[in-house]
Every structure is written in C-alpha cells, then in structure tokens.
Amino acid sequence: MKVSREQMAENRRRILEVASELFRDRGFDAVSVAEVMKAAGLTHGGFYGHFSSKDDLVAQTLAHVLAADSGEGGDFRAYLGSYLSPRHRDNPAAGCPTAGLAAAIRHQTPAARGAMTEGLRAQIARIEKALPELDPADRHRAAIGSWAAMVGAVILARAIADPALSDEILEQTRAWIEAGIKDGATL
C-alpha cells in the first residue's frame, strides 16, 4: 500500500519528535533505530525511506529540534526563569537539546555538529534581540555568556546528587544573569 506524501511527512515528523525525546533523555548511543521506529509506531523497515543511516537521523533530529527550540517571542526574564528551573532540569527528554546533548555531540558526524552550530547561532541571535539597549559588541558578548551560563547550569544541576546544591546552581545562575540584564529586555 502506497503512503501519501502527507502521511510520509507526518511519519517523518513523528520519527524526528520521538528521536529527539529519546536522544535527549538517554543520549545518542543508548538509542537504537529500532527503538525510535517502535516508539513512533512504525516498522523498522520504514526507516530507510526517511533517513540514510542513524547518523543521518541524528543530524536531522538535531536540526529539527534546535529549529523548534530557538523560536521567536516572549520575555527574556520569563524564558530565563523557565530555563533555569527544577522543572526543566528534571525533564531532559522534553528539555533543551543543547543542554541534553552538547557533551555528546563532539563524537557525532560533521552534519550533526553543523546542526548544533546552527542551533547555537540561532540562540545567540535570539538573546541578542532581547538586549537592544546594549551596543552590538556588548550585546553579542552578553548573549554568548548568558547562553553558555544557562546551558552549563542545567548540565551541572542535572549531574549532581545534592538536590539543594542543584537548586542553588539554577537560582544563582539566574540571579547572576539577571544582574547583568537591564529591565525591559525581551526574547
């Protein structure tokens, strides 16, 4: 039975969404193609109609999720509060792909690293837009520093066994960034 273009596109979207959650939750190496397809409700045999290899799936999943993660709009302080929250820390499968996968990306293909690079550029640009009161050089520096601190804080908060210290890492990083951001910034 031939599948329509619309159904193929929906199947592909579903594969990318499921792969994104599984990769963020468990890492690239701990997830098989068969697991992704089963979680998407599809057969393993259908995989190669969408992707040439698992490496291709990884790269395309990163491009897909990072494009969705770097959307426009909203208040920077609200975004900062949401990002540096226990809820985000405790839900890696639904959380930031950068915080969930950055450490493992160095072992992936150039295409996957390229997708991560473009995602990073998009987030920096997003934060830069949130800081219009700064001159361009300071805006760029603040955007890179804020994003690096946010991602690093989530990685560290997830890595440790002390819940109080984990919460403190999130809270203090948020306070440190907010101290450097003027009122009225939006994201």
What is the model's pLDDT at position 145?
95
In angstroms, rounded to a whole number, what is the distance separating the alpha carbons of residues 139 and 102? Answer: 23
Backbone region of residue 119 per phi and psi (left: phi > 0; alpha: psi in -120 to 50; beta: other values): alpha
127 Cβ contact list (under 8 Å, min separation 6): 76, 142, 143, 146, 147, 187
Q: Is 186 helix (H, G, I), strand (E, B) or coil?
A: strand
The fold of the 5-64 domain, in CATH, is Arc Repressor Mutant, subunit A (1.10.10)
Domain spanning 70-180: CATH superfamily: Tetracycline Repressor, domain 2 (1.10.357.10)
Residue-range domain boundaries for the chain = 5-64, 70-180
Q: Which of 48, 37, 33 is nearest to 14 (CA)?
A: 37
The parts of the chain modelled with pLDDT lower than 70 are 1, 69-74, 182-187
